[in-house]
Amino acid sequence: MKQIKKIILLSILIIVAICQLSNNVFAYTIEEVKEMINYHTVEEDGEPEDYDILIDSSLLKDYVEVPNIRTTIEPILYNNDGVYGLLNINFFDLSAGSSNTEWGTIASFVRTFFRVSLYIAAAGMLTLLIYMAVVLVSASISSKDKTIMPMGGAVLGGNGNPRKRQREKSLVEQWILSVILLALIAFIINLSISFSGIINNIATSNPVSSDSIVIYVADLGGEENPDEADIDTTDAYYFTTNIEGALMFQTQYDWKDNAVENITNFICGMTLTIFKIFIYVVFLIRMLLVAVLIAIAPIVILVSAFDKIYGNRGYIKDWFKLLLYLLLLRPIVGILYYLLIQTKPNLVTNAPFYMFFIVILLIIAIIVSIKMAYRSVKKTAGDIGKRVNSKK
């Protein structure tokens, strides 16, 4: 049966791949592409005032193509607009959802769930306060020393069991702390999100453009040192692109003499593309996890308060550590990428394997940090399970 399902699924995929659902083709015109990449010829517009990479056209194949890559890694790391708005985590910003409908729906759900959770937690705290008041009043009327948990000797006085009295005292303390946390939780979350945004802005203090690398192509006569070359600008041109585009463009060297350079640039370009997909998925999962953590925050405060009454450490610290980790994940990756790769276009294109190793190290670091966060969550969940089983 499983084999039949696989065959049917494979057949459907093949049919969809061969028989396209739409026969409409959308593409940019040559002039639109030239405008997008700021394509200029030296003959018409003169030499560029400044450029990042100078390429010897005599080493390229006869017919080259200029890249026009629109889906770059920079917006994934730094932007919250358009399709990348789905990576936004500022769920309390009422104006943020206008750039992405799907994210706006998620943000609205998070705010609603957070509000409901806050009401439930507030009702729990109010119920506990009423219970405390009832016990105090009944104790003042009755001559008996009431030491029934969750209130008792610690509130009413008397010679109750010391362990019970300690728990009762802890209950009063946790009630006060929980009420304060519930009143400030929205402010704390907003402050934490703003802090992560400030860190992210460190990498974008100078505006980050997805097409920020200027490539100048001219005939250097085969000279390795541009300063010693007599540059022939007869057919010279220049355009702007990104790191992926620069690596793609440099896979067009003459294969006869520069096969190693072509293969190296191709491997590094593919690595960067894979990293782009990987990091987008990670940040998408990050957004969903932050949404859950924010939505359940008041409930966590309520449950943690009762957990601490019985001498346990509660869940507030674990919840905040996980939230802080998720908030800082994107800014830190963005800063590392900016410092190690984006600010060094010449090094990346002249020594592509530098970028390859940096990207691999970033992927490894992200995976290791995710595993550490997962182990922390798993340990907390295990502790909760042990406590529940011990009370049965």
pLDDT band with cut points at 50, 70 and 90 for residue 379:
confident
Q: Which of these, 246, 236, 249, 237, lies nearest to 212 by C-alpha position?
A: 246
Q: Peptide bond before 67: cis, by omega within 30 degrees of 0? A: no
pLDDT band with cut points at 50, 70 and 90 for residue 383:
low
Q: Which of these, 172, 202, 216, 190, lies nearest to 305 by C-alpha position?
A: 172
Q: What is the per-residue pLDDT across 27-82, written as a single tens digit (0 to 9) for each?
A: 567 777 777 788 888 888 888 888 878 888 888 888 888 777 766 777 788 877 77
What is the H or E stretch that residue 280 is in? helix 255-295
Two structure tokens written together for 245: 């585009």
What is the overall mean pLDDT for the chain? 77
What is the H or E stretch that residue 388 is in? helix 352-391
Predicted local confidence at residue 147, as pLDDT: 44
Q: What is the per-residue pLDDT across 263-309, written as a single tens digit (0 to 9) for each?
A: 888 888 888 888 888 898 899 999 999 999 999 999 998 888 877 77
Is-contact 213 243, C-beta < 8 A?
yes
Q: Is the pLDDT of residue 346 over 90?
A: no
Cα separation, 254 vs 262, in Å, equals 8
Residue 64 backbone phi and psi in degrees, to 5 = -115, 160
Predicted local confidence at residue 155, as pLDDT: 41
Is-contact 214 53, C-beta < 8 A?
yes
Q: Which residue has the higher pLDDT, 144 or 263?
A: 263
Range with the poorest average pLDDT among 40-49, 142-151, 207-216, 219-228: 142-151
- pTM for this model (two decimals): 0.76
Burial grade of 1 (CB within 10 A; 0-12, 13-18, 19 or more): exposed
Q: How far is CA 161 from the centre of its chain?
A: 51
Tokens 């996980």 correspond to what residue? 322
Bridge partners (DSSP) listed for residue 55: 217
Cα separation, 231 vs 358, in Å, equals 33
Residue 134 backbone phi and psi in degrees, to 5 = -65, -45
Burial grade of 364 (CB within 10 A; 0-12, 13-18, 19 or more): exposed
Q: What is the DSSP letter of 240?
A: E
Q: What is the DSSP letter of 31?
A: H
pLDDT band with cut points at 50, 70 and 90 for residue 356:
confident
Q: What is the DSSP letter of 53?
A: E
Pairing of strands 40-41, 213-219: unpaired
DSSP 92-112: T-TTGGGG-HHHHHHHHHHHH
Cα separation, 49 vs 56, in Å, equals 18
Q: Is the pLDDT of residue 148 over 50?
A: no
- Highest mean predicted confidence (pLDDT) among 18-27, 182-191, 221-230: 182-191
Q: Is the pLDDT of residue 165 over 80?
A: no
Cα separation, 118 vs 158, in Å, equals 36
Predicted local confidence at residue 116, as pLDDT: 93
Predicted local confidence at residue 353, as pLDDT: 78
Q: What is the per-residue pLDDT across 100-133, written as a single tens digit (0 to 9) for each?
A: 788 888 888 999 999 999 999 999 888 888 877 7
Predicted local confidence at residue 25, as pLDDT: 46
Q: Which of these, 74, 75, 105, lies nearest to 288 by C-alpha position?
A: 105
